[in-house]
Structure 1
């Protein structure tokens, strides 16, 4: 199959990246537009209300100047005519004029008024906003003397109606803008992510068919293009690896036993390796629990092994490992299993008829065996053993925990001076 044939139409996975990114981007766009809409609406309302409040205050101040003479000459009828004129020009819900003694001087019969006690005393005009109303209290001053107070209460209902109509128009405009922006965003995003979707489809095909000969085309010299190049390189390496592995498996098909040996045994000492040890340890723990018998795990570390490697060479170290494994095997029972975990670490499994006393005797035998001189290249190797012992089920019935406890006990033996053993005990 050619690389062109590998460029399949993008599949639709259960969770589409394109749809997910589109939803996220549209959500961000919608959220931004809503926040902008709310901010504009709030600013528009506050500005419009402030302008109407300023206009109402200016009209009230002018009216206060007009009615000042009427207060001085005690002409309430003329004052009421001026109040009526203001009420015709503005949408009032309350207007009243009080004299200096706090007595009602003039008002309009069809609008409510407030008692004198509820009017704030101030030498300057006072403007307050109460819901959809503007409340104005303007002192009437004649020759620096306050002759009375003008109270005006103006509705904002007409302003609110204008504001709501404006919001409706703005909402319709923003919906249209959002729709066009969303269409444009979806189109651009799909085009931008198309190479990534094609790459995903190719990866799905490679995974399902295990055909590493497929390749993806590099559309643009961007991050996705770089990713495509690296993916093609990975496919090439996988193809080479697959061919080499297939060839190797064909060559070794007749050597199944040898492969099993390599998989489960250490190549130097021919002992069970760490992988095999894990299975043997799990089985020993299961048998110990089911048979209600005690078993033991010994974690063995070869002391001074690094010194041997550094001073006598790695071939001498290999010879020491072979000799140590042979001596340990000679000192244990037929049912016991010695494993090499790697480096200078060994593990000994005692699956049957174990007691703490037996474990101690085995440890002493092992120490005695290794304390016998080991000669390599006409030199005595300065090695010994540090052994940690954990018992099942006494110390733990979990394989990983048992190994950890044996390891801790081994380090206790090392801290005690090496060439020693230690049955696990909690510090």
Structure 2
């Protein structure tokens, strides 16, 4: 027999419940059977004892006189041959004992004090160890004496214990078999619900709403599984819509963040993002005592170029300059567009002022590369002002101010050059002569 289903938690519960219920039912049946069997056994014993007593009384009606007592004793001995007869007493019509017989001593002297109440009809009384049957001895319509016979209840007790033992064995066997078969049948019937519960648990743990329950053959349970699968399908669609909506919302937020923090033309971070990033850069530089630089890059004469060639040309110049400047900077640097013709480069962990000077020269040279605008070759120049933190200021406002001073000095020096603010005297480091090139 297959016992794999017993490992299921539900099977153990059903097994316990079925065992309890079947044990109660079969035990009740056994008790009722024992009571009925005992009742029928003692009823049959009463009838048998009364029959024997009546037969003896009918044979003794002519043998109660003194001269006939010898014959009466023979009849009593004959009646006492039955194994369950314990004693026989013969009384006169007043209840005084005349003959007394028992299985152990046979005939004994009657006790004159053992007087019973005369009876007019047969009756029985049940004691703990014997059954007493008392019948009158009739001579026509006249009562001439009484017979009292005691029989043993041993047969009743034997039958009771025999039936009890056999009933208990049968109860145990039938209970075990019934509980096993009933539980197995219940598990088979509940298999679709168990499968549904298993799938529901998997869905709850994995949040995978694509899982489905196989349809069982049962119409009722099949309908339950179909409804469950429909619910799962609706949840799957709903989750997909939620995820799609969340994805669209994240994309919209990202686009909004880009619009809020980036320049629409060059796609570079704007002034708002620049100030936030610079705040973090200054804090990190002061805390770690590592040199960071800030460069303002201003396109020289941009307004004149914009007026001469148009706004489309101005946009082309700004996007081209943005790409050139980004190519010069390091991966850790950030280029921002902070004004119409002005860029700002945040240079964390610059290492030294000399490195800032090298990057400044490269920025100026990158801008100076020839550019074709409306079929004309132009040389665009830029002025660059640089300050270092914490060397030129530990506070953001002062840092910005000193960088702006460096830019103004670069523009005052004739443009197409760079300047680095020097501390603490405020002197500016001039660019090399090679950087002071005129606009071609």
Q: Structure 1: state its 5+ residue gaps.
A: 1-8, 257-427
Distance 1:103 1:47, change over 3 A: same
Partner of 1:181, secondary structure, is: helix
Cα 1:114/1:182, change in 2 over 3 Å: farther
2-structure distance, mates of 1:12, 1:83: 70
Structure 2 residue aligned with 1:205, among 192, 202, 205? 202
SS at match of 1:89: coil
What does residue 81 of structure 2 align with? 88
CA distance in 1, matches of 2:212, 2:247: 26
Cα distance change, pair 191–118 in 1 and its aligned pair in 2 (3 A): farther
1:241-269 deviation line (CA, Å, top 9, x unaligned): 1111122223334669xxxxxxxxxxxxx
Out of 199, 213, 216, the position equivalent to 1:219 is 216
User: Whose RCO is larger (CA < 8 A, sep 6+)?
Assistant: 1
Q: Following TM superposition, by how much is the alpha carbon of 1:67 offset from its aligned partner in structure 2, in angstroms?
A: 1.8
Question: CA–CA distance in 2 between the matches of 1:25 and 1:105?
Answer: 63
CA contact (8 A) 2:95 2:118 kept: no
Q: Against the structure 1 CA distance between its residues 43 and 118, is the aligned structure 2 distance closer, same or farther, given a 3 Å change threshold?
A: farther
Aligned twin of 1:229: 226
Q: How far off is 1:221 after superposition?
A: 3.5
C-alpha distance in 1, partners of 2:20/2:74? 59
Partner of 2:61, secondary structure, is helix
What is the CA-CA distance between 1:95 and the residue it aligns to? 1.9
Of 111, 120, 134, the match for 1:137: 134
Q: CA deviation at 1:139?
A: 0.9
Separation (CA, whole Å) in 2 of partners of 1:200 and 1:173: 38
1:74 CA drift (Å): 4.7
Rate the CA distance shift 1:10–1:176 in 2: closer, same or farther, 3 A. closer
Deviation of 1:64 after TM superposition, in Å, equals 1.0
Partner of 2:212: helix, strand, or coil? coil
Whole-angstrom CA distance in 2 between matches of 1:106 and 1:43: 37
SS of 1:180 mapped into structure 2: helix
How far residue 184 of structure 1 moved from its aligned partner, in angstroms, is: 1.9
Given candidates 158, 165, 169, the residue that maps to 2:162 is 165
Alignment-derived partner of residue 245 in structure 1: 242
8 Å CA contact 1:76–1:105 kept in 2: the answer is no
Q: Give the deviation of 1:77 after TM superposition.
A: 3.4
Alpha-carbon distance in structure 2 between the residues aligned to 1:198 and 1:10? 13
Deviation at 1:174, TM superposition (A): 3.4
Q: Contact between 2:6 and 2:12, CA under 8 Å: does it hold in 1?
A: no
Query: Matches of 1:229 and 1:37 in 2, distance apart?
Result: 46
Residues 1:188 and 2:188 are matched in the alignment:
no
Count of aligned pairs between the two proteins = 246
8 Å contact kept, 2:91–2:97: yes
Instruction: Label 1:115 to 1:218 Cα distance change in 2 as closer, same or farther (>3 A).
Output: farther
Counterpart of 2:65 (choices 72, 84, 90) is 72
When the two chains are superposed, the root-mean-square deviation of aligned CA atoms in Å is 2.9
Shift of 1:23: 2.4
1:7-406, aligned counterparts within 5 Å?
A: 16-108=9-101, 110=105, 119-253=116-250
Structure 2 CA distance for partners of 1:160 and 1:43, relative to 1, 3 Å: same
TM-score by length of structure 1 reads 0.52
From the CA coordinates, give the structure whose radius of gyration is larger: 2
Give, in whole Å, the separation in 2 of the partners of 1:133 and 1:238: 79
